[in-house]
A and B are shown apart, each in its own frame.
Chain A
Amino acid sequence: MEKQWDAIIIGGGIIGLACAYYLTDAGQSVLLLEKGDLGQGASTSCDDMIFLQSKKPGILLTIALESLEMYRRLEQDLPASIEFESRGGMVLIESESQMGHMQDFVRQQKALNLDVELLTKEQARKMAPLVSKHVLGSTYSPMDSQVNPLQVMRGFVKAAASKGLEIRRHCGVKALDNPAPYHWKVTADDGKVYESRFVINACGAWAAQVGELTGLELPIKPKRGQILVTESVPAFGQTNFWSADYIVMKLNPDFAKERSALMNDLGIGLSMSQAQSGNYFLGGTREFAGFDKTVDRTALHLILKEAVRFFPALEKVNIIRTFSGFRPAAADGKPFIGPVASQPGMYIAAGHEGDGIALAPITGYAISRMITGQPLPYDFSELSPARLGI
């Protein structure tokens, strides 16, 4: 008889690999099937931020804070550095009305133990001397952090492989059969059928396609993000940066009127983070455009104009790459982390939209605890597929 695995993970992005890491750590035998190379999806076409300040108080902020602590430990536990750094973040404020909204937001977040404060114009310029003079002030949190997602994935692969993880690349899943509860037969592109007790759908923006194989309708769609990368340059300030206008608009949709229709259609909000290599990532868009990978000049142009408005000195800097990636966007904005009640053994770990890097450790850990029947540190029912009747 063919080997029966404890768990088969479908999808080799940061979420699938995090699941592999925590499951093998818990002593499970795990096979990971990836339709291309590891990290060919969103997890290598993205920024590197664990951005807490954008989160409304609630389950997502709670688990993001937990995930941050887990990254701190992973920096020690994984075989090589994941370039974890708490450089802090500033949300740059340009108008009195933005200021009012951000004041409120900061008050709510503080109540949930997020270390965040408002800075005056002078304080903000002190932390970011190159910021444009029109900026009225900013928020600041020393907790906003970053990791290098590529090194995180490499670390997960190496650590999990030493505990028996097997990986098949160029081995997409094309059929799933469930002859009995907790018995799965997974047919892959190599023509083989792999058997397991548990299956984890960690296919990011493609999760709905794999869901269809067992008749599930997962409301997850690709939300494209376009990004530019600069050459390596000295830092523009001590922290990473965001513009307040997009965050304020998310909190208060009325605010959209103060932005151009094109900015709203493309979902542009400036984010600027510097990798340890010195390159800045300038982002980004948030658009529903199917699985179309192209980057378009209009969007790139608008992102750059935003960036130069906040940091005029950027004008002289070179762009060395542009790219786009697909955020896995769930219909209600929350990831699915949990079992499918009607299909014993089937788990979903997908739909993290713009937070998959930040939430990878807690997702992998939670899935591992659920599968091995261990208690969880938080109530995950709000993130269970059951919340939408799945």
Chain B
Amino acid sequence: MEELFICRCEEVTRQELEQAIADGAISMNELKRWTRAGMGLCQGKTCAKQVMALLAQKTAQSPAAVKPATTRNPVRPMQISYMTKEAE
């Protein structure tokens, strides 16, 4: 069967996410740290919703109860040459 990537940037499959939940991940932060889902170039913009839905379903939480992962700056990728100039 073709693998189904839920996080395309980091190529994380549904199966890998389910395994991490089976290993004991119960929050978006834990799931992100254990599988890298949401750590890619888009920083979770594309995949976060689906990951949250899966986590809610597998841990029998209501989707509203699942807190999003903490985000880290910059929200968009930025070239180093630009960052070093900007500060001058």
Could you list which residues of chain A lie within 8 angstroms of chain B, going by C-beta atoms?
A: 37-40, 44, 79, 150-151, 153-154, 157-158, 161, 167, 169, 230-231, 277, 295, 297-298, 300-301, 304-305, 307-308, 314-323
Contacts and interface: CB of A to CB of B under 8 A. Distances in A.
Nearest to B28: A37
Interface of B: 10, 20, 23-27, 29-30, 33-34, 36, 39-41, 43, 72-74, 77-81, 83-84, 86-87
16 contacts: A37-B27, A37-B30, A44-B33, A79-B23, A153-B33, A154-B23, A154-B25, A158-B24, A167-B24, A301-B83, A305-B84, A316-B80, A317-B79, A318-B79, A320-B40, A320-B74
A38 B25 CA distance: 9
B81 A316 contact: yes
Given A157-B24, A322-B72, A150 B83 contact: no
Contacts of A317: 79-80
A231 B41 contact: yes
B33 A322 contact: no
A373 B10 CA distance: 45
B49 to A, nearest CB: 20
A316 B34 CA distance: 29
A322 B72 CA distance: 6
A38 B72 contact: no
Contacts of B34: 150-151, 154
Contacts, number: 85
A308 B80 contact: yes
A267 to B, nearest CB: 19
B84 A150 contact: no
Given A157-B24, A297-B86, 12 more contacts: A38-B30, A39-B29, A44-B33, A154-B24, A154-B25, A158-B23, A230-B80, A231-B41, A314-B80, A319-B83, A320-B41, A320-B74
A305 B84 CA distance: 7
B77 A308 contact: no
B69 to A, nearest CB: 10
B73 A321 contact: yes
Contacts of A230: 80
Contact of B81 (A37, A79, A150, A315): A315
A158 B78 CA distance: 37
B73 A298 contact: no
A301 B82 CA distance: 10
5 residue pairs, one from A and one from B, having the closest CB atoms: A301-B87, A318-B77, A315-B81, A150-B33, A321-B72
Contacts of A319: 74, 77-80, 83
A158 B20 CA distance: 10
Contacts of B39: 321
Contacts of B80: 230, 304, 307-308, 314-319
Nearest to A40: B29
Nearest to A230: B80
A169 B26 contact: yes
A298 B88 CA distance: 9
Contact of A301 (B36, B40, B79, B84): B84
A44 B79 CA distance: 24
